[in-house]
């Protein structure tokens, strides 16, 4: 069930639809592919309205999560299938297959059946089958979720690079916010069939439109805390319990009951000596290599801090937290929408 | 596998052996009686093999004018039924597997109901329906009736085979430029061949060995099939077991040949559901 989707994708753009499972991102992709019918609304590819067109006439190619390689055909037959259906000559088909397989480094595999391929190779063949046709649009439906982490990173890079070379408009569906961040020109964050925010990766990360986007993007996840806002001259003071987190000026719109939800990215919290900021107790340390996830307790509130310097302090030590006022994000506690701060 | 001791495997194979013997003994007996000369038929008591074997029963069965005719009739009826049922069941099974449509549950339910009561109940109505159409005493009539009765089960069988093939595959084909029909024919059908073989085999055997309708709908010998033909050997006062068994063995041959051909597909087909992906 999708509602109120209004999305315009530029020519050559790489757009990632991201959201938790069941948010409708795959359905949206299948609507574009023509595998699903829209009950209302319009879908255009280029200047054609494609609602009534069969999938085969939409000139889109899709890479499936399962790869959906034809198991009874060799890689070569898999790649040439679409070209045969269009009645291309044998020479042309051979050339196209050769070019596509060279691009993906699968020339050696052309005589094999899919069952004799590794996961990464299947993934490449699935991409080859899409790009051999030179379609108007590439659709990717969670193509990397069956690969192990290392291979996923590599394929992420390869897909992105390939798309830049070809310049083909691409819509990519994933539930993995890191894939979305790393690959997208623009991200469409979705939840429960509704688009939550559309923007560049940086926009979604830095200026999330609501609590959902703020919580979904980024790992470790953004910290949320209930705060109250107190007017202070031409600014607003953010109070968590009795702790003063900072002063925001110029002031955002404050509700009558002064309540708000505060969001702070874990890497935006600086750690220092106990006296240097708000005193918090360390509950747990999770070293990740590039940094450490520090779980701290500040009053009744648990927070995660991502520290890139090596820490001298240990569990149960007290530590001082500071946050730059510019890194405080405020959300309405009822609607979850971001409270807009006027730009200074 | 190596964990189990010798005793385990001995018992394992003993049980398998027992089952195989129990299943095959009647067939062996069929063969044994078919080569037993008439004079030894009752004289030797229970023996595994007669002291003297003969092919005379086979010779007389084949010389008996009508047996080749019965054989031909059975081939036509069984093959016709198998073909017609498989085509219809494939189409129906594909529909059940891939499409959502109004009344689907009712149609499936109705098809199940047809499988629930004894066929004897409807012999008379079927006869009344076929007679005015000139389809009694006719092979076409038999094919029609057998097809009607086999299609429901065969459809469910085919549906389960189609269900085991991911919809992604034909969606990929449709995006590759195929119509749904082309996608079904070029991608799905080749992958369903094991299932199709299983269905063909199932229907073929069912039609090959059917007795009730073949007996009730035919009164002329022109449309007699093998199971009915075997009753020729039963006369009012005696049963010619030797010839009957010889005819039985001959009747088994085509089914055996058929299964030798489809066996490979059949085993894959029957286990296909168990190993998705």
pLDDT score recorded for residue A136: 92
Residues B144 and B90 in one domain: yes
Best residue in A45, A54, A56 for a mutation probing chain B (most B CBs within 10 Å): A56
Identify whether residues B108 and B25 lie together within a single domain.
no
Block residue for tokens 């055996």: B256
Confidence check: pLDDT of B46 > 80:
no
Contact A129 B172 (CB under 8 A): yes
- Considering the domain architecture, whether residues B29 and B70 belong to the same structural domain is answered as no
Which chain B residues contact residue A65 at CB under 8 A?
A: 168
Average pLDDT over residues B199-216: 88
Instruction: Classify residue A200: in a domain, yes or no.
Output: yes
pLDDT at A263 over 80: yes
Residues B87 and B224 in one domain: yes
Confidence (pTM) = 0.81
* pLDDT of B270 over the 60 cut: no
Give me the mean pLDDT over the A303-310 stretch.
92
The encoded tokens of residue A45 equal 């590819």
Q: Which two tokens stand for residue B276?
A: 């998705």
Say yes or no: B112 and B136 in one domain: yes
B84: closest CA of chain A, how far (Å): 26
Q: Give the position of tokens 């609607």.
A: A335
Please check whether residue B141 is in contact with residue B217, taking contact to mean a CB–CB distance below 8 angstroms: yes
Say whether pLDDT at B97 is over 70. yes
Buried b (16+ CB within 10 A) or exposed e, A223-259: bbbebbbeeeeebbbbbbeebebbbbbebbebeeeee
Decide if B179 and A71 are in contact by the 8 Å CB cutoff. Answer: no
Q: Which range has the worst mean pLDDT, A212-221, B46-55, B89-98, B186-195?
A: B46-55
In this structure, what CATH number is given to the domain that contains residue A266?
A: 2.40.50.140
Distance from CA of B189 to the nearest CA of A (A): 11
* Model confidence pLDDT, tens digit, residues A230-243: 888 888 888 888 88
Q: Which structural domain, as residue segments, surrounds residue B45? A: 1-54
Instruction: Give the minimum alpha-carbon distance from A187 to chain B in angstroms, rounded to a whole number.
Output: 25
pLDDT at A242: 80
Q: H/E/C letters for each residue in chain A? A: CCECCCCCCCCCCEEEEECCCCCCHHHHHHHHHCCCCCCCCCCEECCEECCCCCHHHCCEEEECCCCCCCCCCCHHHHHHHHHHHCCCCHHHHHHHHHHHHHHHCCHHHCCCCHHHCCHHHHHHHHHHHHHCCCCCEEEEECCCCCCCHHHHHHHHHHHHHHHHHHCCEEEEEECCHHHHHHHCCEEEEEECCEEEEEECHHHHHHCCCEHHHHHHCCCCCCEEEEEEEEEECCEEEEEECCEEEEEECCCCCCCCCCEEEEEECHHHEEEECHHHCEEEEEEEEEECCCCEEEEEEECCEEEEEEECCCCCCCCCCEEEEEECHHHCEEECCCCCEECCCCCC
Residues B142 and B28 in one domain: no
Supply the mean pLDDT for chain A: 91
Cβ–Cβ under 8 Å, residues B230 and B64: no
Interface test with A, best of B173, B177, B193, B195 (most A CBs within 10 A): B177
Residue B234 DSSP SS3 = strand
Beta-carbon contacts of residue A117 (< 8 Å; ≥ 6 apart): A75, A109, A125
Q: How many CB atoms within 10 Å of residue B30?
A: 17
Give the confidence band of B264 by pLDDT, cuts at 50, 70, 90.
confident
Please report, for the domain that includes residue A21, its CATH number: 3.40.50.300
Q: What total of structural domains would you count in chain B?
A: 2
Name the region of A258 (left: φ>0; alpha: ψ -120 to 50; beta: rest).
left
Return the pLDDT at B116: 85
Residues A176 and A248 reside in one and the same domain: no
A188 with A260, same domain: the answer is no
If asked whether residues B136 and B24 sit together in one domain, one would say no
Cross-chain Cβ contact A64/B191 below 8 Å: no
Strands A194-199, A223-232: pairing is unpaired
Q: How many CB pairs under 8 A join A and B?
A: 59
Q: Give ipTM to 2 decimals.
A: 0.83
Pair (A152, A28) in one structural domain:
yes
**Shortest CA distance to A16 belongs to which of A243, A152, A190, A168?**
A190
Polymer length in residues for chain A? 344
Higher pLDDT, B275 or A70: A70
Shortest Cα–Cα distance, B105 to chain A (Å): 22
Do residue A88 and residue A160 come from a single domain?
A: yes
Assign residue B118 the CATH number of its domain: 1.10.3720.10
- Candidates A27, A31, A36, A85: best to mutate against B (most CBs of B within 10 A) is A85
**Chain A residues in contact with B177 (beta carbon < 8 A):** 56, 82, 85-86, 133
pLDDT recorded at residue B8: 92
d(CA A120, CA A154): 10
C-beta atoms of A55 and B175 within 8 A: yes
Nearest CA in chain A to B188: A70
Region B228-245 average pLDDT: 81
- How far is B146 from B123, CA to CA, in rounded Å? 12
Structural domain contains residue A81: yes
A68 and B190 within 8 Å at the Cβ level: the answer is no
Question: Which residue, A172, A201, A216, sits at the end of a domain?
Answer: A216
Give tens-digit pLDDT for A2-32: 888 889 999 999 999 999 998 999 999 999 9
Chosen for mutation from A26, A81, A136, A137 (greatest number of chain B CBs closer than 10 Å) is: A81
pLDDT above 80 (res A50): yes
Question: What confidence tier does B275 reach under pLDDT thresholds 50, 70, 90?
Answer: very low
Set of chain A residues whose Cβ sits within 8 Å of the Cβ of B178:
56, 85
- What pLDDT, on the 0 to 100 scale, is given for residue B259? 79
Residues A70 and A180 in one domain: yes
Q: How many domains does chain A have?
A: 2
pLDDT at B273: 42
Q: Spell out which chain A residues touch chain B, with contact meaning CB-CB distance below 8 angstroms.
A: 33-35, 54-56, 58, 60-62, 64-66, 68, 70-72, 81-82, 85-86, 129, 133
pLDDT 10s digits, A97-139:
999 999 899 999 999 999 899 988 999 999 999 989 989 999 9
Share of chain A above pLDDT 90, in %: 68
- In a shared domain, residues A262 and A240: yes
A74 and A212 fall within a common domain = yes
Check residue A300 and give its pLDDT.
Answer: 85
Q: A5 lies in a domain?
A: no
Handedness of CA B176, B182, B186, B191 (dihedral sign): positive
- Looking at residues A46-68, what average pLDDT do you find? 91
């Amino acid at each position: 069930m999708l509602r109120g989707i209004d999305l315009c994708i530029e020519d050559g753009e790489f757009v990632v639809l991201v959201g938790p499972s069941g948010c409708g991102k795959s359905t949206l992709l299948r609507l574009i592919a023509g595998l699903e019918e829209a009950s209302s609304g319009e879908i255009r590819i280029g200047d054609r309205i494609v609602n009534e067109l069969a999938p085969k006439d939409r000139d889109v190619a899709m890479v499936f999560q399962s790869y959906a390689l034809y198991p009874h055909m060799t890689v070569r037959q898999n790649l040439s299938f679409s070209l045969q259906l269009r009645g291309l000559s044998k020479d042309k088909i051979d050339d196209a297959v050769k070019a596509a397989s060279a691009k993906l480094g699968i020339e050696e595999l052309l005589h094999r059946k899919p069952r004799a391929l590794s996961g990464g190779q299947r993934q490449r063949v699935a991409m080859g089958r899409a790009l051999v046709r030179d379609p108007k649009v590439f659709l990717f439906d969670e193509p990397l979720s069956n690969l192990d982490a290392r291979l996923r990173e590599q394929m992420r890079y390869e897909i992105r690079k390939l798309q830049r070379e070809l310049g083909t408009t691409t819509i990519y569906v994933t539930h993995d916010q890191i894939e979305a961040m790393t690959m997208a020109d623009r991200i469409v964050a979705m939840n429960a069939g509704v688009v939550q925010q559309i923007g560049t990766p940086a926009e979604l990360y830095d200026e999330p439109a609501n609590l959902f986007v703020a919580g979904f993007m980024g790992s470790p996840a953004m910290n949320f805390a209930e705060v109250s806002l107190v007017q202070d001259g031409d600014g607003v003071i953010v109070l968590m319990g009795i702790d003063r987190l900072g002063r925001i000026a110029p002031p955002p719109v404050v509700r009558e009951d002064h309540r708000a939800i505060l969001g702070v990215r874990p890497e935006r919290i600086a750690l220092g000596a106990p006296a240097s900021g708000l005193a918090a107790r360390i509950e747990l340390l999770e070293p990740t290599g590039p940094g450490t996830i520090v779980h701290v307790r500040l009053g009744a509130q648990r927070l995660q801090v991502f520290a890139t310097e090596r820490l001298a302090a240990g569990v149960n030590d007290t530590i001082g937290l500071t946050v730059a006022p510019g890194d405080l994000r405020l959300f309405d506690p009822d609607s979850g929408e971001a409270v807009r701060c006027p730009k200074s | 596998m190596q964990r189990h001791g010798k005793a385990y495997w001995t018992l394992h194979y003993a049980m398998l052996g027992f089952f195989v013997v129990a299943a095959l003994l009647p067939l062996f007996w069929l063969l044994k009686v078919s080569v037993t000369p008439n004079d030894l038929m009752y004289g030797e008591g229970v023996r595994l093999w007669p002291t003297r074997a003969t092919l005379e029963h086979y010779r007389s069965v084949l010389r008996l004018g009508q047996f080749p005719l019965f054989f031909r009739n059975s081939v036509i009826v069984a093959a016709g039924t198998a073909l017609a049922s498989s085509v219809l069941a494939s189409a129906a099974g594909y529909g059940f597997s891939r499409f959502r449509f109004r009344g689907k549950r009712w149609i499936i339910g109705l098809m199940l109901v047809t499988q629930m009561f004894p066929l004897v109940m409807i012999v008379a109505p079927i006869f009344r329906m076929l007679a005015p159409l000139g389809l009694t005493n006719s092979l076409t009539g038999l094919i029609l009736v057998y097809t009607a009765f086999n299609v429901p089960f065969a459809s469910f069988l085919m549906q389960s085979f189609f269900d085991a093939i991911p919809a992604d595959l034909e969606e990929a084909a449709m995006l590759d430029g195929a119509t749904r029909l082309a996608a079904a024919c070029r991608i799905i059908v080749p992958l369903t061949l094991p299932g199709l073989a299983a269905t063909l085999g199932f229907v073929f055997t069912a039609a090959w060995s059917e007795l009730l309708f073949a007996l009730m709908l035919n009164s002329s010998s022109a449309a007699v099939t093998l199971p009915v033909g075997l009753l020729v050997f039963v006369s009012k006062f005696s049963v010619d077991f030797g010839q009957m068994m010889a005819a039985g063995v001959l009747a088994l041959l085509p089914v055996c040949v058929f299964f030798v051909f489809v066996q490979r597909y059949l085993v894959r087909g029957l286990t296909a559901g168990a190993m998705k992906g």
